Amino acid sequence: MLVDKNNLPVLTQYSEDGFVDCVFKIDGLKSDREYYYFNILASHEEERVGVAVKLVKQVEPGFDGDMNLIKKHVYPYGVSFRSLGAISDRLISVIAKLYEIGDVGLRMIPEETFTAIALHQQDTDLACHTVKLKLFGRDQEPFNEDDYYESFFNVDLANGFVWWNEKDPDYRSPLIRGLRAA
């Protein structure tokens, strides 16, 4: 992983398949009975970028042994991203650039909430193990297929990193539309 002089991951990460996979360092981890709260930070062209994250604390396996979805383990408000101001605005612009959408100078909305499902079958503890989540954006009613998007959000609290990975290039524009202020 490429890091800057402040030991923040540099957002120029691509998978072998050409997907944009962003690595972030966790900063300021706190929790209460129900949620973890932290910022995810990275660097792009020597500037800090990031967002505040609220993550449901108890994440149960999303699938049974036969890979059937366990509906009671779907978390409609499992993850939210909150703007940190200018560094979040820069993040949205950087992601648009990495996605080759071309929008620059974007502002992030105050908060975007995602439905989350854990992609594992066994019990796990977020405090000790990496948990792979699938995030669903703009999936609430009234549902608009053009606004809907998905991504992967892999959380490693123990080592202090998050991977926010692209699921499909078709979700690039809806994701940017969902996170940018009008």
Question: For residue range 100-135, what is the model confidence (pLDDT) as tens digits?
Answer: 898 778 999 999 999 999 998 888 789 999 999 999
For residues 70 and 67, what is the distance between their CA atoms, to the nearest angstrom? 9
Q: Would residue 59 count as lying in a domain?
A: yes
Low-confidence ranges of the chain (pLDDT < 70): none
Question: For residue range 164-173, what is the model confidence (pLDDT) as tens digits?
Answer: 999 999 999 9
- Give every CB contact of residue 143 below 8 A, 6+ residues apart in sequence: none
Q: Would residue 49 count as lying in a domain?
A: yes
Position 65 scores a pLDDT of 87
Q: What are phi and psi of 62, to 5 degrees?
A: -80, -15
Domain that holds residue 54: 21-179
Q: Would residue 38 count as lying in a domain?
A: yes
Position 120 scores a pLDDT of 86
Q: Would residue 6 count as lying in a domain?
A: no
- Total domains present in the chain: 1
Position 129 scores a pLDDT of 92
Position 4 scores a pLDDT of 94
